[in-house]
Each structure stands twice: as C-alpha cells, then as structure tokens.
Amino acid sequence: MSVIVVLIAVSLLVALGFLIAFLWAVKSGQYNDTYTPSVRMLFDNENKDSEKEK
Amino acid sequence: MSIQNPDIKNKKCFHCGEDCTENSYRLDEKYFCCNGCKTVYELLNENNLSNYYTIMDMPGVSFKGVHSKRFDFLDDDEVISKLVDFKNEEIVIINFYIPQMHCSSCIWLLENLFKLNPGISNSNVDFLKKNLEVKFSHNKISLKEVVELLASIGYEPNIQLDSLDKPKRQINKTLFYKIGIAAFCFGNIMLLSFPEYLGINIADVYYQKLFGYLNLVLAIPVFFYSASGYFTSAFKGLKKKIVNIDVPIAVGIIILFTRSSFEVLTNSGAGYFDSLTGLVFFLLIGKLFQEKTYEFLNFERSYKSYFPLAVHVKVNETEKAVPVSNLKMGDRIIIRKSEIIPADAILFKGNGNIDYSFVTGESKPVQKVLGELIYAGGRQLDNVIELEVVKEVSQSYLTQLWNNDTFKKKTESYFSEFSNKVSKYFTFAILLIAFAASLYWMQFDTGKALNVLTAVLIVACPCALALSIPFTLGNSMRILGRNKFYIKNTGVIEKISKISSVVFDKTGTITKPGEAKIDFIGPELNPFQKEIIKSLVSVSTHPLSNAICNYLQVGKTYEVDDLIEHAGKGLEGNVLGNFVKIGSLNFVKEDFVDDNRTDSDESNDISSQVYLSINNQILGYFNISNSYRSGFGNIVEYLGSKFNLSILSGDNESEKENLNKIMGKHADIRFRQSPSEKLAYIKSLQRTNKKVLMFGDGLNDAGALAQSEVGIALTENVSYFSPACDGILDASGFNKIPKFIEFSNISIKIIYLSFVISFLYNLVGLSFAIEGMLSPIVAAILMPLSSISVVTFATLSTNYMAKRKGL
C-alpha cells in the first residue's frame, strides 16, 4: 500500500524538478528571443582553421 | 580591380540585389550597383567574412538613399554615458536598434563583428527586436568607431534624440512564472483527483485524506500567486465603481478555494481544486495570447525619434557636435545635405532647399533665402547651410504640438468597454440566481442552501466569457499582422469596429512619396528633343528635375555647356548648340531677366507646371501631379458608402481637382492644414459624436492621430520612423483597408457568438448547481470543456473568416 505514497512523492519530486527547470529557463532569459537562436544554430561553426577553405 | 563595363546592365548587384547601371562596378566576376556595395564586399572578403553571401543571395543593404552621417557627437562623454548600458574600466555594453536587419545573413555578419575589429569582443542579435548588443573594449575601439563600422557595412544603428531618455525595455517575465506554476499544480492536482473522478471506492480513508491535503498544498501557490492579478484588478475596478470582468472571476476563484479548503479540512468532500487550478491556467494562457506585442515596432514615437541626437554648432570658427537638447538660442548650427534641421532657425549662409513633406505635408521642396525663418523638422536638400537658432527644440513650431493635452491623456484600461458592460449585468444576474436558489433551498435544508449558493458562484465563473475576447481578438491581431497591419493592442480592433468617420492625410498617405505622375502638355517631343532635355535635367539635383529625368525614357545624354541653375526658377544650358530652358513660365519666357530675387508667390504656385523652351521657343510644359496609391479609388468607393470621408492636407490646392474627381461628392477636402488645425478638425468631428479613424504618415499628423479614436500610421518601411499611433500599416497593405475594417467587424461578431456559447454552458452548469448536484467531477468536466470549446470556436472562426475575406 505504502508504495503508492512513495510513487506519488517521487512523481511530485520529478515534476517539481521540471518546474524549477522551467522557471530557471525563463529567468535566464531563454524566452526573451525565440527566433534568433533557431537561425544561429544553422550557421557553420568556422573556427580559425576554416580560413584556409575559402 | 574594378572596371567600368557597359554590358554590366541587366545584372543584379551581388551585394544588395539592385539592378546595375552603366556606372556600376565589376570585381571578381561579380557586379555591384554602387561603390558602397563594392566596398562592403571588399571589406568582408578581406576579413574572411564572405560566408555572408552564401547564407542568403544578395543579402546586403542598398546604399542608395542612405545619407552618410557624421558621428562626432559620439565622442561626447555625456552622450556616451547616456547611450551605453554598462561600462567599466575595460568593457562597454551597448544595445543598438538596427532597422536594416532583415535576413539570416544579417544575423551572421552582425554576430561576427569581432572579425572586423578585434576591439569588439562579442555581438549578439535579437532578430525579432532588431536589436544588436555589442560588447567592446573601449581602450581598443571607441563607440564612435563601432557605429562607423556598422554604418560602413550598411547597418547604421538608429540613434535619435529619444535614444537618450528611453527607459530600457524590461521583459515582463511574471506571466511566464505564473503560467508555469499554474500548469504544474493543475497537472498534478488532476492526477491526484483521478481516483475521485473514477469513483474508485478506496477502503482506506487515509488516501482520500492524503490526496485532499496534497491538492490543498498544490492549490495554495496558484491561489496566492498565479491568480493574484485577478484579485488586484477586480479590487481596482470596484474602487472605481466599475464591475469589470475580473470581478466575477475573482469571486469564483475565492469561493472555489474557500469551499474546497473547507471540504478538505473538514473531510467532507474532495473539493474543486482541479477546476480552480485549471481555470486559472486557462485564464493565464488567454492573457498570454492577448499580450502579444510587436516588439520590433514602436507605437509611442514622438518628434524625438525623428530628430537627430546631435548637430554641429559653430563655435569660434570650429565645428563642435552638440546634443540637440543642449541647443540654445543664438547658436550657429551647420546643416549638411540631407540633414534635418532640429530647431526653428534663421538662414544665415547658403541656399535653403527644404523638404517639408514629412513635417507639414507640402509635397514640393521649399526654397529659402538668407534671413528667412526655417521651421524645425525640414530636411535640407542642397549643400551646406548655416543657421542661427531662434527657438529651443522643445519650443519650436512643430514640437509645440507635443505640448498639447492630447499627448498626455492616453491611459487606457485593458478591458474593453463592451466586456465591462457585459460583465456588469452578468455579475448581477449570477448573484441574483445564487441567492434566489439558496433561499429556495433554505426552506428544506440550510446546509444545502450554502452548498447551492457556492456551487452557483463557482460554476458561473465566466471563464469562457473571459477567454473569448482575448482569443478572438488576439487571433485577429495576428491575422492582421500577417497582412502587414500591426496594431498596438487588441483593443484597437474593437475601436475600429465602431468608427463612423474616416480621415486621410494626403502627402505620403494617399499619395506615394517621391513619386509623381508626369504628363507633357504640348506637341509630342521627338527623341532628339527628349535627349537634349534629359541631358539638361540630369545635371540638376532638384526633385522636379529628377522626376522629369525619370520620365524621359531615352538612353543618350550629351554634354551641357553654359549651365546655369536659377534657384527656384529653372535651368538653362546649351546642348549641342541648342539653347534649352526649363522651369517656371516666367523664367522660360524670352525676355526673362534674372534679378536675383526669388519671387515667393511663384514657388508657392498652385500648379506644378514645368515649362520648356528650346531655342527660345516654348514647346509646352510638363504637368506634374501626385501619384496616388493603387487602389485608392476603390477604397474611397467602399468607405464613402459607409462613413464620412475627409482629407486633410498640409499641401497647397494644386491637387484639388484631381482629388475631387476621385473622391466624388462624399468627401470634405481641406488644404493647407497646419498640424494643430488637423488636430482641431478631429476634435470637431468628435464633438458631433463621430468616432474617427485617421490615416496619416508624417509628424504633422501626430496630433490628429493621437486625438482620433484610432490613429493609423502608414509607412513604406515599418522599421523606420512613424508617429505615435494605434497601428502601423505597411504601405503595401494600403488597398486592403476595407478588408481590415470588415474583418474587425466580423471579429466583434465572433465575440458575440462565443458569448452565446459560453452562456449555454453556464446554463447547463447552473442547472446542476441549482439542484445542488454539482459534484467535483461535473465541474471538472464542464469548466475546461466550455473554455476549450470557446477557444476553439474563436480561433477557428476568425481563421475561417480571414480566409474568406482573403486576408
């Protein structure tokens, strides 16, 4: 019987973890700009060595 | 290196995509329309940034029409400290608004600024806001150099007078927190309520208690934090004796919470925590949906966004950049070609040729001679002039408009009038039903009476009602936005649906700026005559010359000898031995003597007729009239049948006949209206109980736009300056105006319909409640169901109607 109590406690804890993750994401500004990162990730990451290529 | 090449024609510029002309450049098998574009290409190539051209084709910003500015004022410490966001001994962080940003190549280049200058350590783009954050070390590169670097690659930051005192825009994250917490609690409470829903008869009371208390704990943050906005708003409303829609919501939430807590604590039931948290969650989602704003647009601009930040002042024969706000009477200022005159001033040196089209609505540039007063806001078209300031910036003819009360009133509540009216009756009706039902039950069972009273208030909580407005209007606002009509907030749609009078500005609003319709009146010119005329006018920079030059579709031009340009009168010159004169009638007449006096009557001449004579024989004249935006005739026809139409023009009467022809008898057309006369005209309409919709574009319309119920600024490019308004309409959407108005009306009708739907749900819920049968499960099904169906109906029907209207 008490296993249900444990399960509920665990599920609440996991959910709480996600809530905290969400609040942190908002606080750290990840929702400030919802467009630019989607473009930015498509740019080739050219480091110093890529200068030879072109 | 670059070679000029005749077969460059019909090629597109590799940098900006504009058509190349004979004077274009070629480099590395690539073509460039102008030197500016070529320079950027070279600069980027040298710094291994040619990737810019591979992300998007022709991503560059055209340099045509861009006036090179000087940024000396950015050396001023006071200015710097006001502009930057952060500064310490080493680094500076500053945010720029860059209106030219338009594609992913722009993002890439702007984020790779550090490759162009090692002093810049980091740059970060927020594309939707067109914002660029630059972090640089001010020991290695100065702010002025950063701005110059940006300008040199075609991304000149927008630094105007208001950049100094703009409060930094803070993003309100509270709503996100509230929604996150409400969603978390809602989900978990639903889960914990499942045994109750399924009616599982658990032998052990222990679990019932445990779930009940857990629900209560989870509901507390929702009640006290997520829902707090509704309590304060309801309270504020009641204080002003307005029963806004938040009042019944707040009552519902409070009753839900107290009754549920009571049930749990006394162990008499499971409570309605699931309904409570679900309700709050849906309401907050609605709020989020409604609060969409166009972050890259600014609806609150004043003259300060138009005026430059600094101007060059002559002190002891040297030039010094001085912030415009520090200008004093008697200062001697220097205005270069295409700079804006920031204060009322007297012309002291040079030739004034001022374009006031944006400021007063005059479509033709005005010639000014020494000693004449020049009003602030005009743009100098000729070469350098020197002026003496006679009034401070805030006191000048134009900016005084902003001292008018019209600009102070705007504090709008976010509730629409309509929802307030509905919620008033709604609240009283619900209270009536609740008390009547409980009185009825009082006769049989006192306990049940209280039960019914609270149940009615709970189930009547106008969640669906409260959601129908944000979702309908929020979605309509998005649809309008897709059609390039950006409104400030959802309330504007409601206001548009109520208008009874439409007012247009002329110059720049219904006419296209910089475009003119030209007809030659007289015997047709032969190609050779056209060529020699074109040769003459192509030398001049006067707007009328440019217009005629564009009109004459011939290729060849010849050398012009003995060219003389008489300011405000015309041009004369010898082309292949033919003496050509072009200008006003008096000037072209044979016996004309230049007495060096601009006759002001003439420059204000009603007609825009440019006469032409070759070898002292008058051949005819070019009739230059405004070119109206396409579709204007249809708009007039549609609007004229429904509303009062007026046209307010700051320009002279030269277009009167044309306008009368287009407008027919419907319209009241007024010319030579000053900015304050326009404002007064709107006020006089409003005194006759008219609700005014005004379209304008320039600074001179600012007062009228602010005074109108709905003021809409029309602009060729939404990123550039437009006066304070309720909505910004991209010029390409001009011919959709009738559709926008119809669609706004439809949106309001959709709201009525969704009200009906939510009332039906309420009726069902109330019938349960009055009988005292509202179990938690009925509430938990009914409330989300009504909300979801209203939201779905609102969204789908607005989308469907938009499609049918072709939006």
pLDDT of residue A3: 86
* Structure token pair of residue B663: 């407008």
What ipTM did this prediction achieve? Answer: 0.84
> Do the beta carbons of residue B366 and residue B356 sit within 8 Å?
yes
pLDDT of residue B9: 57
* Yes or no, beta carbons of A26 and B108 under 8 Å apart: no
* Structure token pair of residue B775: 């179990």
pLDDT of residue A12: 93
Task: State the Cα angle at B502 between B497 and B506, rounded to 5°.
Answer: 140
Residue ranges of chain B with per-residue pLDDT less than 50 = 1-4, 6, 411, 413, 594-607
> Using CA atoms, how far apart are residues B2 and B4, in angstroms rounded to an integer?
7
| Contact residues on chain A for B173, CB-CB shorter than 8 A | 26-27, 31
| Contact residues on chain B for A8, CB-CB shorter than 8 A | 192, 210, 214
C-alpha distances in angstroms, B650 versus B207, B655, B674?
78, 12, 6
* Yes or no, beta carbons of A35 and B188 under 8 Å apart: no
Helix (H) or strand (E) holding B121: strand B120-126
How far from chain centre, in Å, is Cα B798?
A: 23
Which of A1, A18, A54 has the CB atom closest to B48's CB atom? A54
Q: Is B562 left (phi over 0), alpha (psi -120 to 50) or beta?
A: left
DSSP tag of B72: G
| Contact residues on chain B for A4, CB-CB shorter than 8 A | 207
| Contact residues on chain B for A18, CB-CB shorter than 8 A | 184
* Structure token pair of residue B243: 């029963």
| Contact residues on chain B for A44, CB-CB shorter than 8 A | 51
pLDDT band with cut points at 50, 70 and 90 for residue A16: very high
A51 and chain B in contact, CB less than 8 A = yes
* Residue A45 Cα, gap to closest chain B Cα (Å): 11
pLDDT of residue B725: 85
> Do the beta carbons of residue B742 and residue B805 sit within 8 Å?
yes
Taking Cα atoms as reference points, which of B279, B429, B275, B421 lies closest to residue B759? Answer: B429
Length, in residues, of chain B: 807
pLDDT of residue B739: 92
CB count, 10 Å around CB of B366? Answer: 21
Provide the whole-model pTM.
0.80
> Using CA atoms, how far apart are residues B484 and B728, in angstroms rounded to an integer?
8
pLDDT of residue B177: 93
Tell which of A32, A38, A48 to mutate to test the B interface (max B CBs under 10 Å).
Answer: A32
> Using CA atoms, how far apart are residues B610 and B520, in angstroms rounded to an integer?
9
Map residue B698 onto helix, strand or coil: coil
Give alpha helix (H) positions in B21-131: 35-46, 52-55, 77-83, 104-111, 113-116
> Using CA atoms, how far apart are residues B15 and B246, in angstroms rounded to an integer?
55
pLDDT of residue B541: 67
Per-residue pLDDT of B413-457, as tens digits, reads 455 667 777 788 888 888 898 888 888 888 888 878 888 888 888
* Residue B754 Cα, gap to closest chain A Cα (Å): 31
> Using CA atoms, how far apart are residues B383 and B337, in angstroms rounded to an integer?
5
DSSP tag of B720: S
> Do the beta carbons of residue B484 and residue B718 sit within 8 Å?
yes
DSSP string, A1-54: -HHHHHHHHHHHHHHHHHHHHHHHHHHTTTTT-SSHHHHHTTS----GGGGGT-
Measured torsion, CA atoms of residues B621, B651, B685, B727, in degrees rounded to the nearest 10: 110
CB count, 10 Å around CB of A4? Answer: 10
Taking Cα atoms as reference points, which of B355, B302, B299, B361 lies closest to residue B160? Answer: B302
Taking Cα atoms as reference points, which of B730, B506, B510 lies closest to residue B632? Answer: B510
Per-residue pLDDT of B344-380, as tens digits, reads 888 888 888 888 777 777 777 778 888 888 888 888 8
* The 3-state secondary structure of B762-804, one letter per residue: HHHHHHHHHCCCCCHHHHHHHHHHHHHHHHHHHHHHHHHHHHH
* Yes or no, beta carbons of B207 and A54 under 8 Å apart: no
